[in-house]
Amino acid sequence: MKHRPLHDGWTLRAASGDSGITGVPATVPGCVHTDLMAAGLIDDPYLDANETRLTWIGRTDWAYETSFHWEPDDPDARVDLVCEGLDTVATVMLNGRELGTTANMHRSYRFPVRDLLVEGANSLCVLFGSPYEYAERRRAELGDRPGAYAEPYQFIRKMACNFGWDWGPTLVTSGIWRPIGLETWSVARLACVRPLVEVVRDGDRIDGKITVHAQIERQSDEPLDIRVSLGDLAKVVGALPEGRATAEVRVDVPAPELWWPRGYGEQPLYDLTVELVDASGRVLDTWRREVGFRSVRLDTDGGAFTIVVNDRPVFVKGVNWIPDDCFPTRVTPKRLAERIDQACRAGVNTLRVWGGGRYECEEFYRLADEKGLLVWQDFPFACAAYPEEGPFREEVEAEARQNVVALAHHPSLVLWCGNNENIEGFHDWGWRERLAGKSWGAGFYYDLLPSVVAELDPTRPYWPGTPYSGAPDLPPNDPARGTIHIWDVWNTRDYTHYASYRPRFVAEFGFQGPPTYATLRRAVSDDPLTPTSPGVLHHQKADDGHGKLMRGLEGHFRTPRTFDDWHYLTQLNQARAIAFGVEHLRALAPHCMGAIVWQLNDCWPVTSWSAVDGDGRRKPLWYALRRAYADRLLVVRPTSVTVVNDTAEPWTGRLTVTRINVAGEPLAEETFEVTAEPRGVAAVELPGPLATPSYPMLELLVAELDGVRALRPFAEDRDMAYPEARMEAHAESATGGAVVTVTAQTLVRDLAIFPDRLDPAASVDDMLVTLLPGETARFRVTSPGGLDTAALTTYPVLRCVNETPRRPTDP
């Protein structure tokens, strides 16, 4: 097997409309938007409101063209053009002859081209039809279907969020978005390799079993062999008789090391190699991947929703993952590794790949395998009623079959989920009446997709959608069963309403905050920059998003008077809201066995629910999430403290709970002997002297156990009579940045440092730290370009809740 990439010499032209664009150098893999940007023909759609002037791109036909030289080196060899990803509606032509058409971003395609290639120069053209024209034509043919947005995304097998979302721009792309090239082979090739990796238990003994299913494409009927090896541990040869096109080879692995989720053990991976060999011993084709041994099942008894790995229930500390860029080829392996690392360092053990995006790249799942991150994979259906008629159904089946097989070897992948919020939409959003009997996707979620998973990947559980209560006739968002999404908090309720829920598993809940200052300032040129200036509002896609941000502050903070105060307080409120929700859900374990925060990342600079903004900078929420997802956590409520232990060892010790005043003076104190069992919780009810403040506006509860501390005021910050913060703050240069040392003379509430205001490349190791009088904290600031150390300790870089009030005219 020989592979020749065809990534050079491409040009782009508009094949419809009157733009006159032609002969533009094109990068493959890539897309129209990035090529036009590189040529200086459009402005960056992520800046200001440029996006609104670029909708014509998605309504235009585009042609990618190149030529290449070809010399036949084996007259009997087969040559295929392999297109790993075409976005989306494409006609592929070689030397003026049509090879085929495509209509699915989520699939790859292979075309035999040996008879069309000519010695010397060959021309290749991929003509992309307008995604809008295609989707609107299908909508007219099949009848309209309801959706969350007035865009036709459910009528085309393409990344739905390309059409805009409540956190994303409307940038409808076209292009060769994954590699394209020629594959030359003879005799036979491995058309498909599907390893099923299982753990076999016999009493206390644990062995491994890999069943390799191989499909062969042949040029001849001669007998062949399939050689399977697992590093140096095992080698098995299976015979492929004359003419046969399928093989099944079993590899038994005595006592393999098990792969575990983060925090539960190690992640050993084994090299699996499958070779196709002819009678002379010549290797015709090779397939290599890393695999891991682990079992996974879903416990749904009594309405539960618990992911069980290697027979151990796992409390899911998760984040939702959306496409990290509207233009996928800009997500480099380095950028992906940074984002995965940010998830790990926040204490996350699970990534949910959300259904409005795409199946992620191989590198994403490989990193999850290495890091021990569990992956919940949605099939790409989200927030709409989808037609089930042909040819749509055939596309969905082909896409599902290909991607289930492609991902089956990854130990990190633990769940297939049919869709995002479509079952809820049918039951609760008025779709049933609007559909008037038309198909909406039920046949996919309850029949087609589970059948594909059962046939091709029976080692993993399937769940029809989220939210979902376990049966089609049950209310889908019932906290007593299955998975729920909590969105009334962001839309209509104060975040303390999270405490009214007693769910089994929450797959989505979130609260908004703006991006970091450096990210917002890069994306928005408003002068002055205000919470409601045009660019800031354009980078807020949620319905009444600014109004909800301000209403969310009302019960907790005084109304901000300056942009800087708005920026700090809305970011802080986002962090507080999600920390409150996560802590509540973790304290409910094992009744509740999962919290998946919406969302880890962003695809562009925007005010959203993310912990990491569109430029990859960590928002205050990230630091709060790191505390809330720590292995050991104290959850303080007015009348109780819950000890949460997500480790394999008991957490035993003396819990000290103190009621103090805002001057840091103890008013009441008690010590409790506590034990939280491994992966368990222990609740301590507080006696009256601790739980009953004399003056709520002046008092706080502080709980400490083995160096873990949690603090809770008896009133909201807007009502607390905090002293104006006094502190000694000193910054000194250090290798690669600076160290800031802060010693509190009074209580200092939620101290934060925002070094990106001084250097966009700067970051800090911690924030949202509350200091009691006399306590000291040190912060490491990283800045490759150097910093003005004096500015690190002044407003608006150094902030806390009870700082000296600022007037709008203050510098």
DSSP character for 140?
A: H
Most distant CA atoms of the chain, gap in Å: 93
- Whether the per-residue pLDDT at 810 is higher than 90: the answer is no
Whole-angstrom Cα distance, residue 270 to residue 31?
36
Q: Which CATH superfamily is domain 187-291 in?
A: Immunoglobulins (2.60.40.10)
Q: What is the pLDDT of residue 809?
A: 52
**Mean pLDDT, to the nearest integer, of 447-453?**
98
Kindly report whether the peptide bond that precedes residue 313 is cis, defined as omega within 30 degrees of 0.
no
Which letter does DSSP use for residue 290 in this model?
A: E
Instruction: Determine the pLDDT at residue 305.
Output: 98
Instruction: Give the percent of the chain with pLDDT over 70.
Output: 99
Please, what is the Cα angle at 427 between 423 and 431, to 5 degrees? 95
Cβ–Cβ < 8 Å for 174, 162: no
Give me the mean pLDDT over the 616-621 stretch.
98
Q: 706: which 2 tokens?
A: 């083995």
Q: Alpha-carbon distance 763 to 754, whole Å?
A: 8
Rounded distance between C-alpha atoms, residue 359 and residue 595, angstroms: 22
Tokens 């993952």 belong to residue: 321
Domain positions in the chain are: 2-184, 187-291, 296-630, 633-713, 727-799
Amino acid letter for position 386: Y
Among 155, 176, 173, 175, smallest CA distance to 164 is for 173
- 272 strand-pairing partners: 230, 289
Phi and psi, residue 27, nearest 5°: -100, 130
Overall fold of domain 633-713: Immunoglobulin-like (2.60.40)
As beta bridge partners, residue 224 has 240
Q: Which two tokens stand for residue 612?
A: 């990491």
Closest CA to 687 of 634, 635, 639: 639
As a whole number of angstroms, the distance between CA 58 and CA 169 comes to 13
Q: Is 673 exposed, middle or buried (0-12, 13-18, 19+ CB in 10 A)?
A: exposed
Residues 6+ apart with CB under 8 A from 775: 743, 744
pLDDT at 243: 87
For residue 284, give the nearest of 213, 211, 191, 195 by alpha carbon: 191
* Residues 351 and 319: beta-carbon distance below 8 Å: yes
C-beta separation of 572 from 552 below 8 A: no
The confidence score (pLDDT) of residue 276 equals 97
Our CA dihedral for 146, 152, 157, 159, rounded to 10 degrees, sits at: -100
Residue bearing tokens 């040190």: 778
Q: Around Cβ 391, how many Cβ atoms within 10 Å?
A: 11
What's the DSSP call for residue 359?
A: P
Q: State how far the Cα of 806 lies from the Cα of 811, in Å rounded to an integer.
A: 9
Handedness of CA 337, 361, 136, 128 (dihedral sign): positive
Q: Three-class SS of residue 253?
A: strand
Please state, in angstroms and rounded to a whole number, the distance separating the CA atoms of residues 210 and 198.
6
Q: How far apart are CA 795 and CA 780, in angstroms?
A: 18
Average pLDDT, the chain: 96
Q: Is 472 exposed, middle or buried (0-12, 13-18, 19+ CB in 10 A)?
A: middle
The yes-or-no answer to whether 187-291 and 633-713 have a common fold is: yes
**What's the residue count for the chain?**
811
Chain Cα centroid distance, residue 27: 26
What does the pLDDT read at residue 785? 83
- Structure tokens belonging to residue 751: 């101290």
How far is C-alpha 377 from the chain's CA centre?
A: 10
Query: What gap in Å lies between CA 508 and CA 485, rounded to an integer?
Result: 5
For residue 509, give every residue at least 6 positions away whose Cβ sits within 8 Å of its Cβ, in sequence order, or none: 485, 486, 487, 489, 490, 498, 578, 581, 595, 596, 597, 598
Looking at residue 811, its pLDDT comes to 44
CATH number assigned to the domain with residue range 2-184, chosen from the 4 options 1.10.3720.10, 2.40.30.10, 3.30.470.20, 2.60.120.260: 2.60.120.260
∠ Cα 627 596 770 (to 5°): 20
Query: What is the rounded CA–CA span in Å between residue 648 and residue 683?
Result: 19
Two structure tokens written together for 375: 């992956």
Helical H segments across 170-257, by residue range: none
Sheet holding 748-753, edge to edge: 769-771, 748-753, 798-799
Nearest residue to 320 via CA among 708, 734, 596, 26: 596
pLDDT band for position 77 (50/70/90)? very high
Q: How far is CA 800 from CA 33, 191, 468, in A?
A: 42, 60, 41
Q: Which helix (H) or strand (E) holds 574?
A: helix 563-587
Question: Is a pLDDT exceeding 50 seen at residue 448?
Answer: yes
How do the residues of the chain divide into helix, strand and coil, expressed in percent and rounded to 5? 25, 35, 40
Dump pLDDT digits (tens) for 730-768: 999 999 999 999 999 999 999 999 999 999 999 999 999
Give the number of other CB atoms < 10 A from CB of residue 650.
Answer: 13
Predicted pLDDT of residue 806: 59
Compute the distance between CA of residue 561 and CA of residue 340 in angstroms, rounded to an integer. Answer: 37
The edge-to-edge listing of strands for the beta sheet with 270-277 is 234-240, 224-230, 270-277, 283-291
Amino acid sitting at position 9? G
Instruction: Tell me the β-bridge partners of 737.
Output: 734, 782
What does the radius of gyration of the chain's CA atoms come to, in whole angstroms?
A: 28
**4 confidence band (pLDDT: 50, 70, 90):** very high
Dump the DSSP string for 17-38: SS----SEE--SS--HHHHHHH
Strands 350-353 and 374-378, by their bridges, are: parallel
- Indicate if the pLDDT at residue 602 is higher than 50: yes
Task: Please determine, looking at this structure, whether the domain spanning 296-630 carries the CATH number 3.40.640.10.
Answer: no
Strands 699-705 and 708-713: antiparallel
Q: What is the pLDDT of residues 359-411, one digit of tens each?
A: 999 999 999 999 999 999 999 999 999 999 989 999 999 999 999 999 999 99
Q: Tell me: pLDDT of 63 over 80.
A: yes
Cβ-based neighbour number of residue 418 at 10 Å? 26
In the DSSP assignment, the letter for residue 75 is T
In a 3-state reduction of DSSP, which class is residue 414? strand
Phi, psi of 525 (to 5 degrees): -100, 15
CATH number of 727-799: 2.60.40
* Tens-digit pLDDT profile for residues 285-334: 999 999 999 999 999 999 999 999 999 999 999 999 999 999 999 999 99
Region of 23 please: left (phi>0), alpha (psi -120 to 50) or beta: left
Residue type, position 512, single letter: Q
